[in-house]
């Protein structure tokens, strides 16, 4: 017996899988898989299909940053109103409500470090309710969305992990 979440897990790992491939993996009928996927898209369970690209292997120059944001929650709206204002900026890739010293984690992509700084001081910090920010630049990515960027050779694995 299959769990419909198995279909979602497979799609999350590889959005290119066809209903026929998923059906074969889960011993289902392709029509069942296709109907489930269509319903999940209509219900907003499946939000988007995406491709993970290693931009460091291209000529595209960009800077990624994590900006921690401390905010004063708004009466009746909590953190939602400010989070919604922040995620509408084009540079913003992700926004998460967090526990800890800061309330929001904001991931952005910009062309230069100067552009990140300008985003923080000109757009983010002046927002009503924002009380503090801390900016961290992503220097190197090792793994993202379950995908390793650099896979060590077999010899390196034996040396480093033996």
Convert the pLDDT of each residue in 89-107 to its tens digit. Answer: 999 999 999 999 999 999 9
Cβ atoms 49, 39 nearer than 8 A:
no
Neighbours of 19 (CB within 10 A): 19
Token pair of 54 as six digits: 């290693």
Taking 90 as the threshold, does the pLDDT of residue 79 lie above it?
A: yes
The rounded distance, in Å, linking the Cα atoms of 115 and 91 is 10
Task: Output the CA torsion 64→70→75→78 (10° steps).
Answer: 50
pLDDT score for 106: 98
Residues 6+ apart with CB under 8 A from 8: 40, 45, 46
pLDDT score for 149: 87
pLDDT score for 112: 96
Mean pLDDT, rounded, of the chain: 92
State the pLDDT confidence band at 162, using cuts at 50, 70 and 90.
low
Question: For 132-159, what is the mean pLDDT?
Answer: 83
Taking 70 as the threshold, does the pLDDT of residue 146 lie above it?
A: yes
φ/ψ of residue 57, rounded to 5: -95, 10
Token pair of 146 as six digits: 């379950």
Instruction: Detail the DSSP E strand segments found in 20-159.
Output: 63-71, 92-97, 104-110, 130-137, 143-144, 147-148
Token pair of 145 as six digits: 């969305």
Task: Output the CA torsion 135→137→142→144 (10° steps).
Answer: 50
Cβ atoms 112, 127 nearer than 8 A:
no
CA end-to-end span of the chain = 39
Least confident of 5-9, 30-34, 53-57: 53-57
């Amino acid at each position: 017996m299959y769990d419909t979440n198995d279909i979602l897990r497979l799609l999350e790992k590889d959005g290119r899988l066809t209903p026929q491939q998923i059906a074969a993996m889960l011993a289902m009928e392709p029509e069942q898989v296709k109907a489930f996927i269509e319903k999940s898209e209509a219900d907003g369970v499946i939000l988007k299909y995406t491709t993970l690209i290693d931009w460091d292997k291209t000529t595209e120059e960009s800077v990624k940053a994590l900006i921690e944001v401390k905010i004063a929650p708004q009466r009746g709206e909590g953190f939602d109103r400010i989070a919604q204002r922040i995620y509408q900026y084009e540079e913003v890739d992700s926004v998460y409500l967090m526990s800890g010293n800061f309330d929001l984690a904001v991931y952005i992509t910009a062309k230069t470090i100067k552009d990140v700084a300008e985003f923080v001081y000109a757009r983010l910090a002046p927002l009503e309710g924002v009380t503090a920010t801390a900016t961290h630049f992503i220097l190197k990515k090792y793994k993202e969305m379950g995908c390793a960027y650099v896979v060590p050779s077999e010899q390196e694995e034996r040396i480093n992990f033996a």
